[in-house]
Amino acid sequence: MIKIFEGAMGTSLQAMGIADQPCPEYASVKYPDEVMNIHKAYVDVGADILECNTFGANPLKLAQFGLADATEKINIAGVTAARRAAKKGVEIAGNIGPSGRLIAPLGDLNFDEACESYARQIKALAGAGVDYILFETIIDLQEMRAGVLAAKAMCNLPIICQLTYDAMGRTVTGTDPSTAAAVLEPLGASIIGMNCSLGPEQLLPLVKELALSTTLPISVQPNAGLPFIKAGKTYFPLTPEEMGYWAPKLVEAGATILGGCCGTTPAHIKAIKEAVNNMNPIARTILPTGVRLASRSKSIWLGKGHPTVLIGERINPSGRKAMAAEIKTGNLTSVKREALVQVEAGAGVLDINMGVPGMEQKKLMGHVVGELAMLVNVPFSIDSVEPEVLEAGLRAFAGRALINSVSDKPDVKEKVFALAKKYGAAILVLPLGEKGLPKTTSERIIIAGKLIAEGKEAGLKDNDFMLDPLVLTVASDGQAPSETLNTLQEYGKVFGYPTTMGLSNVSFGLPGREDINAAFYALALASGLNAPIINPCNAKIRMMTEATNVLLGFDNQGVNYSKNYVAAKTIPAIAVTDENVLGALAGAVMGGEKERAAHLTLQAFAEGYDPREITAEALVKGMNLIGDDFGAGRTFLPQVMLAAEAMKSAFDALKTKTNVEDLPCLGKVVLATVKGDVHDLGKNIVGALLSNSGFSVVDLGKDVEPEVILAAAEKEKPDIVGLCALMTTTLGAMEETIKLLQQKTTTTIMVGGAVLTQEYAREIKADLYASDGVQAVKLAKKVVE
């Protein structure tokens, strides 16, 4: 039988004019009969589950109306109103909406604070006798996690989790229905669904997606279409008949509980009830086997029948002194870089270990997990031997993480299993016994079996476990790798769970470790390894993973493999055919080929060319040519800057062979961004181009007082003073500077910057106006000619 929720409460209260005194939830206290009557109208048309008027009755939200202290009173009043309206057999759901603030790092609300706020509301609702805890209209998966954790802590009631999706099929914070299922089902949701924002037609594909992603019942509460406002009133366009038309389709897609959100009325609920009255929930497709991990916005499967997933191992300061030292100073740059680089290289999961000696690992783990989750979108494996460090990571991660790991260690394993259950995490089982490393496959199978049984005792399920076969060093035991491979095969036969292992240990103490690792990797994949913990940046490993995916049928006809293979090939630099070394050097400058420019400069010098000739006939010529191209729109600023880099590298090479004084100097330029303006990129570009075109440049920096510029002009006696202003608000300072310079010096003044025009430059009496850096060089050359 399909169960039916009631329809909209908020819009009904609005229609009665009692929604803002001061908030909709307070109507249960102030107007209990009116609220009861709204419920009753839904009972009369056949609603099976009523939703209390407690959507915003969490203390955080109520605080906005100065009502946090009335949390209990408002929730109890909400339940009472629904209870009074309910007839026999009608159930009551305690309705809980968003707190109104986003949890860090998306917002400023602390995760624990969110849990506490929800816990207080849930305690009141459960105490007042609701049958379900219903979270709805939640847009942030982390907020839903806080709510579910609070609900599990406060009561044993079934938990309904409804997120709100946009037209693209994601919550505003990026979660899709199948990722929501991957996280919420193991976390302890009883029913998963969606409500609000979209009408039934738009929700239909999302229900289909969800049905393929969870074994739990699915609830759907669409809006009566997208609202519009006419003459100050809000209208929802979908009629009850139309809602009745879509209801059976939602059931056919997998929904088992239907209702209505904004704009729905008793007439809509009646239409739904009548349309699905004789329907039963459909039999759903069985989910794939394996373990599913998820980040906030992405879920992946690991196990037999799924492509190999690389678990990036490099975020681990053990044995990496530089990384550990950097973390100690509070700098996470190399940790972040490792995350980005590994994901770029194809890691599907990132292992995070924060074993930095002398640091409070618990706090560090929570912080790093939060920071990295803002950077990359893959699921994490939380790696620690300390249960409290694991918990900090699991709490901070808005997804379903893997716990790395649990072994047969009394007093610790119980805590780790409890954490996996509490946070809905998957768990990596390491068959390490109390007596140390088990040598044989059969010993490992026994320990793994024991740990799995204990995990299940703690409430874990088959799709929560991953197994590690243990990798020992071949140099110390020649049979160790065979035993590992054998264990992998036996794991497949005995348990069928996904397997993982860190394999680089195998080659310890031998030369050519990369080759041994790669060979072992191939053998392990053939023996049933699903998700190696590995350095994904290793080219051999990457190539082998891609090749294996082709051979195992995960990359149809090798399409991805071929694409990446071609992309990996280096594209050779454009060949310069000039016979003359100076011509080739000019070409290298133009092409921005730094190393080649330096090499050719030295070659030209060795061939007997004078430094002045090299500068004039090759370097400056190359810059002039690219400057011409820029002026003609054939090339762009970054290419000009690359050419300047090549020019600099050629100059630097030349300076190793000759005195700087022997190099030609076209003239001297003093540069500054004017007072009040903190932009200096544009000025720096001009400086780089001038100095690499043979000018001597004195850069005074940004936000420079007119008096300072004057002092520099008097001291340096430059051919040109270049002034830069990027904002309309600092043009006044430019005019002031020009006035001062012209009163006291005769130097040529060149101006430029985004907001300047030729006309304005003339108005403020500048001698020259350069529209860009290339033109600045051309004009400067004319001045000194």
Partner 1 sequence: MTTVGQVNLFNPILNNIDRTETKRYAGMGRSIHFPESIISEACSIVMLEKHIKTVWTMYEYDCISGCINGDYKIASKELLKHLSCSKRVILMAATVGEGVEVASKKYFEQGEYALGLLIDAAATAAVEQAANALCTMLTAQFINQGITLTARFSPGYGDWSLEEQEKVAPLAHVTSIGVNLTNAKMLIPRKSITAVAGLKTVTGEDNEMGCSQCTQKDCIMRRVK
Which residues of this protein are in contact with partner 1, per CB under 8 A? 23, 56, 64, 101-102, 105-108, 139, 164, 166, 172-174, 196-197, 223, 226-232, 234-235, 262, 296-297, 333, 336-337, 340-341, 373-377, 592, 635-639, 641-642, 644-645, 648-649, 675-681, 684-685, 688, 727-730, 733
Reading the block at residue 344, the tokens are: 């770029």
Q: Give least dist CB 289 to partner 1, A.
A: 29
Bridge-based pairing of strands 465-467 and 233-235 is: unpaired
Angle at 375 between CA 371 and CA 379, to 5 degrees: 85
**For residues 205 and 701, which CB has a smaller minimum distance to partner 1 in the complex?**
701
Q: Could you tell me the smallest distance in angstroms from the CB atom of residue 730 to partner 1?
A: 5
Radius of gyration, CA atoms only, the chain? 34
Compute the distance between CA of residue 409 and CA of residue 419 in angstroms, rounded to an integer. 15
CB closer to partner 1 out of 234 and 280: 234
Nearest residue (CB) to partner 1, 65 versus 508? 65
What's the closest the beta carbon of residue 95 comes to partner 1, in angstroms?
15
Task: Please state the length of the chain.
Answer: 785
Nearer to partner 1, 375 or 708 (CB): 375
Residue 754 burial (CB count, 10 A): 11
Residues 130, 95 contacting (CB under 8 angstroms) = no
Query: Could you tell me the smallest distance in angstroms from the CB atom of residue 64 to partner 1?
Result: 6
Residue type, 116: E
Cα–Cα distance measured from residue 593 to residue 644, given in angstroms and rounded to the nearest whole number: 10
Minimal distance, residue 728 CB to partner 1, in Å: 5
Beta strands in 267-419 (DSSP E): 291-294, 299-302, 310-315, 347-353, 380-383, 402-406
Q: Which residue lies nearer to partner 1 by CB, 111 or 520?
A: 111
| 522 versus 619: smaller Cβ distance to partner 1 | 619
| Complex with partner 1: residue 262 or 600, whichever CB lies closer | 262
Looking at the Cβ atoms of 408 and 699, the one nearer to partner 1 is 699
Q: How far is the CB of 690 from partner 1 (least distance, A)?
A: 12
Closest residue by Cα to residue 62 from 50, 52, 49, 75: 75
Which one, of 370, 338, 368, 336, lies nearest residue 355 by Cα?
368
Q: State the nearest-atom distance from the C-beta of 260 to partner 1, in Å.
A: 13
Name the token pair of 164: 């709100």
Q: Phi-psi bin for 23: left (phi > 0), alpha (psi -120 to 50), beta? A: beta
Q: Which residue has the tokens 């409500």?
A: 195
Shortest Å distance, C-beta 415 to partner 1: 31
Structure tokens at 90: 């009608």
The structure tokens 């047969």 sit at 408
We find the least distance from the C-beta atom of residue 162 to partner 1, in angstroms, to be: 14
CA 511 – CA 657 distance, rounded (Å): 42
Q: Pick between residue 416 and residue 685 the one whose CB is nearest to partner 1.
A: 685
Burial 247-281 (b: 16+ CB within 10 A, else e): bbebbebbbbbbbbbbbbbbbbbbbbbebbeebeb
**DSSP three-state, residue 23:** coil
Q: In terms of CB distance, is 228 or 565 closer to partner 1? A: 228
Single-letter residue type at 743: Q
CB of 85 to partner 1, least distance (A): 24
